[in-house]
Amino acid sequence: MNFEILTYAFMQRAIICGIAISLMCSLIGLFLVLRKQSLFGDALAHAAFGGIAAGLYLGIYPLWAAFAVSVSSALALTKIKQKFQISSDATVAILLSSGLAMGVILISLAKGFTVDIFSFLFGSILLVSLQNTLLILGLCGAILVIILLLYKKLVYTTFSEEQAKVSGIAVDKLNYLFVVIAAITVVSSMQLVGILLTSSLIVVPNVTAILFSRGFKQTAILSMSFAVFSAIVGILSSYVLNVAPGGMIVLISIIIFGIALGIKSLRTRNKFVGKSINITKT
């Protein structure tokens, strides 16, 4: 690989954004996976699709429209879920289908897809501007600080929401804050892998890390490491191979997941063989 490409400003911005987005997605995604809401990120991405279509149709900057629609949709459905006791998978289905329907209708009114829509669908990290790079870095820093400040409460709520309520934690308010952060993370990550692959960036590194059966902190560190590695290698490989960066990043994540499965399988097999030998000896 020719490392001269690292001297290009657009590549430096892409890698910086890739690292920041990977850290956000892996950390927020870990809480979503442990809460059994893995597809919530996918639903938010589809809601953002509706926001982007609305922004393009109304002449508003698409990212701001996506932020507004995703955050408001996430808050509204969280409220509905709490008030009417609707299951998580049902709320995800509602959010996903409504965002997609909104986007399709507005695109049809605008006479079809545009280059802007395709860049949001499949990602355009190599084209990210300096302004968007600074915005993503600011959002990443703010989200990481919030997670660190509320770390114990978020972990407690994730593993035992009822116990958290009994202990005096304002669970409902915490959940509202969390879905806002999740919505912001999803919209930010669209520039890296696009709407269609956002959920992969949130879910795959975390599922891979969980395979190693570590504690929460170690799992989070592993997940962030896998996500950052996938982003950097995916971006560099996509430039060399002249393929879409988003797809390459997800493919690297899947390869790491496959390797982790193989290691897990070998460990399980070795333990089984070891137990069999011990039983035979006794």
CA dihedral 81, 87, 88, 90 (to 10 degrees): -100
Tens digit of pLDDT for each residue in 22-32? Answer: 999 999 999 99
- Indicate if the alpha-carbon torsion angle 252, 200, 227, 11 is positive or negative: positive
DSSP character for 282?
Answer: -
Q: Which of 54, 27, 221 is nearest to 139 (CA)?
A: 27
pLDDT at 69: 87
Please state the pTM of the whole predicted model: 0.83
Give residue for tokens 């170690």.
218
What is the pLDDT at residue 205? 92
Q: For residue 255, what pLDDT band results from cuts at 50, 70 and 90?
A: very high
Q: Average pLDDT of 46-73?
A: 84
Query: What is the mean pLDDT of the segment spanning 64-70?
Result: 86
Which positions ≥6 away from 250 have C-beta within 8 Å?
193, 197, 200, 201, 204, 230, 234
pLDDT reading at 272 higher than 80: no
Average pLDDT rounded to a whole number, residues 80-90: 75
Lowest mean pLDDT among 37-41, 82-86, 96-100: 82-86
